[in-house]
Structure 1
């Protein structure tokens, strides 16, 4: 039986230039109340490659502070949903976030990136057109088996929005 799960609060400052959106945090992240807490999730390595910083080797609060300092915000496209386990394919009964209002409250926002197909499908519908660029990224999840180098190459496009 699926259980209703709620996402985390945003990790953002008002001067964010890039917003990275996931779908709904997995079980490890919800338990830890931390974004991308599963040790096999490649998010911190991928974003570390983009920023040229060893984010994966830092403590969680320091990771968030480094992102904020570089103009990166994190959140999810789903406020709440039913899901058994952590896979996006198991997500049901979605209650999306008001992403458009959130994005419009970030005056320096240049791009919104979606970490994976589910985030892109839901997020693009909720955000619509705006003064920002929308970027679809391969999922950082270990369930998405694309080689790390290929993922990192695609994620490197984010750097253009932080210069």
Structure 2
């Protein structure tokens, strides 16, 4: 399976949020966090203090206007459906090149698997630490929306000011 969409960033991007690999719904929608139960867009819009974006264009604009970049650790892999635990044969994205061509200062992992994969496959090339945030995936049922917003806010709010 190959990752088919580009990172969202520009020269003003200060933070990078990394997922693992697009879910089935995201691959179908050809955009990040497309599953209707994934809480990524609700969490981020709440932290920023804006209305939750509906369209892909609105989502891109919200990210770029707030100096946020998003991408995934994995370029290609073997994966069963959307299960991060099934990921094998990883080929990472070139995160180092993205960092070298932007002003990104801080990297966040959307969940433990992206944190683990970044450290295993990308850190040696970037030499940049990553901060682990709880996953916004619907599979992370132990975190309510409010708990996710609180956890993410405490980690990235200062970056956004």
Aligned to 2:11: 14
Normalized against structure 1, the TM-score is what?
Answer: 0.89
Runs of 4+ more than 2 Å apart? 4-8, 127-130
The RMSD of aligned alpha carbons is: 1.5
Write out per-residue CA displacement over residues 84-111 of structure 1, whole angstroms, 9 at most, x where no aligned residue: 110101111111112122112212x221
- With 89-98 and 21-30 compared, the bigger mean Cα shift is at 89-98
Aligned to 1:92: 88
Is the contact between residue 7 and residue 25 of structure 1 (CA under 8 Å) also seen in structure 2?
no
- Structure 1 CA distance for aligned equivalents of residues 157 and 44 of structure 2: 10
Cα shift at 1:7: 4.5
- Structure 2 CA distance for aligned equivalents of residues 129 and 39 of structure 1: 34
- List runs of 5+ in structure 2 lacking aligned partners: none
Aligned to 2:74: 78
Is the contact between residue 42 and residue 140 of structure 1 (CA under 8 Å) also seen in structure 2?
yes
* Mapped pair 1:47 → 2:44: yes
- List runs of 5+ in structure 1 lacking aligned partners: none
Aligned with residue 121 of structure 1, among 112, 116, 119: 116
- Structure 1 CA distance for aligned equivalents of residues 2 and 86 of structure 2: 12
- Structure 2 CA distance for aligned equivalents of residues 61 and 17 of structure 1: 20
Aligned with residue 35 of structure 2, among 33, 38, 43: 38
Aligned to 1:111: 106
Aligned length: 156
SS of residue in 1 equivalent to 2:2: strand
- The alpha-carbon distance between structure 1 residues 94 and 68, as it changes in their structure 2 partners (threshold 3 A), is same
Aligned to 2:132: 136
- Structure 2 CA distance for aligned equivalents of residues 162 and 7 of structure 1: 28
